[in-house]
Amino acid sequence: MNEPATVEFEHVFKTFGNRKVLDDVSFKISEGEALCIMGRSGTGKSTSLRLMIGLLKPDSGRVCIGSEDIVHSSEKDLSRVRRHIGFLFQSAALLDSFTLGDNLALPLRRLDKSKSPSEIKRAVDETLERVGLDLDVAKMPSELSGGMRKRAGLARALVLHPKLLLVDEPSSGLDRITASEIDDLLLQVKKEYRATLVIVTHDVRGARRVGDRIAVLDQGRLIGFGTATELDKSDHEIVRRLVSES
Amino acid sequence: MGRFFTFIGEVSSFGLKALVDAFWPPFEWEFFVTQIEEIGWRSLPLILSAGFALGVVLSMHTRGTLVQFGAEALIPSLQSASFFNELGPLITALLVAGRVGAGIGAGIANMRVTEQIDAIESLSVDSFKMLVVTRIVACVLILPMLTLFMDFASIAGGFLAEYLASHISLQLYLDRAFKTVEWANFIPPTLKTSVFGFIIGTVSGFFGYTTDEGSDGVQRAATNSVVLSSLLIILADVVLVKAIFFLFPRNAV
């Protein structure tokens, strides 16, 4: 995937049982842009992220990463696309039977076969240093605090230098200072890696700080898409209430 | 009734997929070795102590009856026949279903609800192979070995009980214990535990891998894994014993 890490949803529909989670959602995210997806719980935000990495398939519509339609691509092509995508899960999702170092080494071993063990170790150490966890490489996930787990999850998402970083609720369960530190890291990643960021969040302050644009979902429909300033003037009350800082 | 058959179909296709994937590269050696240690090595103390204790108990029970007929010389061979043919394989499988089945069910379910399986999939790693197939193959290979340990621990326990009761020598006890044992009534019952291992791995893996109900789902996966594995082991045993009698008629005599 040498082309820009753009993300495009084209008329995406997704249901779980009888529940319509995404209802004809279309939008496009440009290379290097940070998009924050907001909305009330159960409106399809995390589902959108999972569609972007191919963990879920839509009922209909297209999800394109760069020029690759990952809905209809083969496992091999999907694997090639995923090589350039990092995913920070809401719970960090560190493998609890692995040390922190092994958690970071896993993507390198599986998706970048060219690296020798010493190169993998160096990459792990460098990435952990970047998120301030270089002294915790041998710790198990259960030994880490909530904020450390988030940073560790971010380190794993970054270890392959992704062009597209998907982040699911980076501030959930964290105090305001730690959440702000995570936002700082995301801004740093955006600047240094020139990565495209898609962040699902309930944190208005963080969304306005990190996001270039904000998408607002409600009952599976995209009801707002634009900069925070644009959305402040939206006709839709839910949009104004969700993006308002007050 | 329809739901029951749907469920049976789902578990069967789950096991069948695992069986096919086990022979299809890439092979997850690293995770397989970890499971051998987890399922085999860590079950060993339980198997050895249970086998030893059951050997003592069975010997004490049979002595009381056989002495009345002056047949106490048969105690060692009765002990070995009971354990090699039936008790060793069945009790080993039930103990492993309790210890390992619950662990597999709860462990994989926990990985599901904490998004660890999604994290593995997002790296384009086949989580089914990594988490389920490795555990099933480990169960299949390790059960016969644990059964051997159970069998010999029970002989040791039986000898201790007999030694304390009649001061029989080890040499004489072993001579009597193995006099009637043939390969045909030792190997097939031991190898049938591979089927039990397949049942434990498949059922537990199924409940863990398919859970989607949060922490309640983890608990349910653990319980269901043990209950259904144990039940299926006992039912499969009936069929396997019949099959062994058919293939090795001397075992039925």
Residues of A whose CB is below 8 A from B114: 91, 93, 96
3-state secondary structure of A100: helix
Nearest to B115 among A89, A106, A110 (CB): A89
In chain B, residues with a C-beta closer than 8 Å to the C-beta of A91 are 114-115
On average, the pLDDT of chain B sits at 93
What pLDDT, on a 0 to 100 scale, did the predictor assign at position B160? 97
CATH class for the region spanning A32-43+80-243: alpha beta
Question: How would residue A2 be classed by pLDDT, with cut points 50, 70 and 90?
Answer: low
For residue B116, the chain A residues in CB contact (below 8 A) are 93-96
Mean pLDDT of B52-79: 92
Q: How far is B208 from chain A (nearest CA, A)?
A: 16
Task: Say whether A78 and B120 touch across the interface (CB within 8 A).
Answer: no
Contact assignment for A87 to B119 by CB distance below 8 Å: yes
CB atoms within 10 A of CB A175: 11
| pLDDT tens-place string over residues A98-146 | 999 999 999 998 887 788 999 999 999 999 998 889 999 999 999 999 8
Q: Cα–Cα distance between B173 and A238 in angstroms, integer?
A: 84
- CB contact, 8 Å: B175 with chain A? no
Q: How far is A192 from chain B (nearest CA, A)?
A: 23
- Which residues, other chains included, contact A139 with Cβ-Cβ below 8 Å and sequence gap of 6+? A99, A100
Residue of B199, B239, B212 lying closest to B104 (CA atoms): B199
* Token output for A229: 């300033």
For residue A81, give the chain B residue with the closest CA. B124
Per residue in B195-234, pLDDT (tens digit) is: 999 999 999 999 999 998 778 889 999 999 999 999 999 9
Task: Name the phi and psi angles at B122, rounded to 5.
Answer: -65, -15
Q: Does B29 touch chain A (CB under 8 A)?
A: no
Q: How far apart are the first and last CA of chain B?
A: 40
Give CA–CA dist A119/B180, Å, rounded.
61
pLDDT at A3: 52
Task: Flag if B115 and A94 touch (Cβ within 8 Å).
Answer: no
Instruction: Give the pLDDT of residue B1.
Output: 74
The whole-number pLDDT of residue B252 equals 66
Distances (CA, A) of B13 to B7, B199, B206: 10, 13, 10
Chain B residue at shortest CA distance from A95:
B116
B123–A97: do the CB atoms touch at under 8 Å? Answer: no
Cα separation values, A160 from A35, A73, A238, B39, B173, Å = 21, 22, 38, 33, 64
Res. A246: pLDDT tops 80: no
Question: What pLDDT was estimated at residue B100?
Answer: 95
Q: Which chain B residues are closer than 8 Å to A55 by Cβ?
A: 118, 121-122
Q: What is the pLDDT of residue B64?
A: 87
Q: Rounded distance, CA A198 to CA A88, Å?
A: 10
- CA A65 vs. chain centroid, Å, equals 13
Distance from CA of A13 to the nearest CA of B (A): 21
- Is residue B249 predicted with pLDDT exceeding 90? no
Q: Which of A53, A88, A102, A144 is most worth mutating to test chain B (most B CB atoms within 10 A of its CB)? A: A53
| Alpha-carbon distance B213 to nearest alpha carbon in chain A (angstroms) | 14
Percent of chain B with pLDDT over 70: 99
Is the Cβ pair B118, A55 closer than 8 Å?
yes
d(CA A159, CA B122): 14
Contact A79 B114 (CB under 8 A): no
Phi, psi of A36, rounded to the nearest 5 degrees: -100, 130
* Those residues with Cβ within 8 angstroms of residue A187's Cβ, 6 or more apart along the chain or in another chain: A209, A210
Structure tokens at A154: 């971010």
Residue of A75, A97, A106 lying closest to B123 (CB–CB): A106
Residue to mutate among B114, B126, B127, B134, with most A CBs inside 10 A, is B114
B156 contacts chain A (CB < 8 A) = no
Residue-averaged pLDDT of chain A: 91
Instruction: Note whether B125 contacts A110, CB cutoff 8 Å.
Output: yes
Check residue A16 and report its DSSP letter. E
User: Does residue B124 sit at the A interface (CB-CB below 8 Å)?
Assistant: yes
Give the separation between CA B68 and CA B70, rounded to whole angstroms: 6
Q: How many residues does chain B have?
A: 253
Q: Find chain A residues with C-beta within 8 A of B118's C-beta.
A: 50, 55, 89, 93
What confidence score (pLDDT) does residue A9 get? 96
The length of chain A is: 246
* pLDDT for res B250: 73
For residues A55-81, give the mean pLDDT. Answer: 93
Write the pLDDT tens digit of every residue in B111-166: 999 999 999 999 888 999 999 999 999 999 999 999 999 999 999 999 999 999 99
Give dist(CA B106, CA B220) in Å, integer: 8
Please tell me which of the candidates A79, A89, A111 has its beta carbon nearest to residue B119.
A89
Q: Domain ranges for chain B, please list them.
A: 28-247
pLDDT surpasses 80 at B253: no
pTM of the model: 0.87
Q: Are A222 and A215 in contact (CB under 8 A)?
A: yes
Query: Hey, is the C-beta of B37 within 8 angstroms of any chain A C-beta?
Result: no
* Best residue in A16, A91, A172 for a mutation probing chain B (most B CBs within 10 Å): A91
Give B151-195 pLDDT, tens digit per residue. Answer: 999 999 999 999 999 999 999 999 999 988 888 878 999 999 999
